[in-house]
């Protein structure tokens, strides 16, 4: 997650500040993710399927 307002349950600080080991580990995981990471979840896959369906409808529509 890239939200700056997330609060750590371990140190009660913002995760983006990296106060404790848990926060720093989460920040490291966020940096390791690639640009295609959003498509691995159910919402990302659904968005991809809907976008492909919309493209198929536009291409298949008669002139």
Query: What radius of gyration, in Å, describes the C-alpha atoms of the chain?
Result: 19
Residue 1 confidence (pLDDT) above 60: no
Mean pLDDT is lowest, of 1-10, 15-24, 39-48, for: 1-10
pLDDT tens across 38-59, in order?
A: 667 888 889 989 999 999 999 9
Contact at 8 Å (CB) between 10 and 20?
Answer: yes
Cβ partners under 8 Å of residue 15, min gap 6: 6, 7, 8, 23, 26, 27
């Amino acid at each position: 997650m890239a939200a700056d307002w997330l609060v750590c349950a371990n140190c009660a600080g913002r995760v983006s500040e990296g106060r404790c080991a848990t926060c720093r580990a989460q920040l490291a995981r966020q940096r390791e993710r690639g640009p295609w990471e959003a498509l691995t979840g159910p919402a990302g896959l659904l968005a991809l399927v809907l976008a492909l369906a919309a493209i198929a409808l536009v291409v298949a529509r008669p002139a």
